[in-house]
Amino acid sequence: MNTMGRIIIAIMDRSQFFRDGLRQNLSAQQDFRMLDCDPDSEPLQFIDANSIDVVLLDIDSPISKGLELSRAIAQHYPNTRVVVLSSYFSGEELFETLKTGAVAYIDKRASTDELVNVIRRASRGEYPINDSVHDNPAIADRVIRQFQEIASMGLVKEKVAAPLTHREIQILSCIAGGSTNKDVAHKFGISEQTIKNHVSAILRKLNANDRAHAVALAIRNQWVAVDEK
């Protein structure tokens, strides 16, 4: 959220009619500042220029291109939270959305109150998409299996699911192997303070008491692979 306390929201949909309607439905929220963006018109530059907090992203037309844009936003602007909107709400699409790094997946038929709640949660750094996964046992099982496959190879090929980002899993893997913050900073060529910030985010997301607890949770859930000596 920006320093003025307002949540800057980009509505990304190819339909001007839909964008106008969504803006109207959200207009009662005094702390929302809503901006329009056609996803075909330099959306990444739009996010950069307007310091967007939350993107409401339509992925319907076509779905593959929408998912690709969601992934690009999450990779290039990790502080911008992507809320995916879909007319074809399904378990398969939820699974694909998870892999892009989006923080929420919403049916376009959801109520305004539901959408407002998701936007506020997303702006606070929460992952409403986790609720969608927990409510869909088949998808939860599929996510766990994919993590297990990745862990068995000792690799993290892509951002598979919330709550941890690709870089956070890499850092947690190093910590699991006994590396200090200084060691990890040297490995990735970034500052020790940045590593500390990542570790703090990991503990917060996993609701872990300390680094050891975070590692235990990660190993139990097959999020990291610890080399056997």
In tens, the pLDDT along 102-156 reads: 889 999 999 999 999 999 999 998 888 877 877 777 776 676 566 556 555 554 4
Could you tell me the residue ranges of all domains in the chain?
7-134, 163-220
- Structural contact between residues 179 and 224, judged by C-beta atoms closer than 8 angstroms: no
Is the pLDDT confidence value at 206 over 60? yes
Q: Which residues, other chains included, contact 218 with Cβ-Cβ below 8 Å and sequence gap of 6+?
A: 164, 169, 172, 176, 206, 224
According to CATH, the topology of domain 7-134 is Rossmann fold (3.40.50)
- Supply the pTM of this predicted model: 0.66
Nearest to 11 by CA among 58, 75, 81, 70: 58
Reported as a single tens digit per residue, the pLDDT across 16-39 is 999 999 999 999 999 999 999 988
Q: 78 in helix, strand or coil?
A: coil
Tell me which CATH code domain 163-220 carries.
Answer: 1.10.10.10
The residue-averaged pLDDT of 63-73 equals: 87
Sheet holding 54-58, edge to edge: 32-37, 7-12, 54-58, 81-86, 104-107
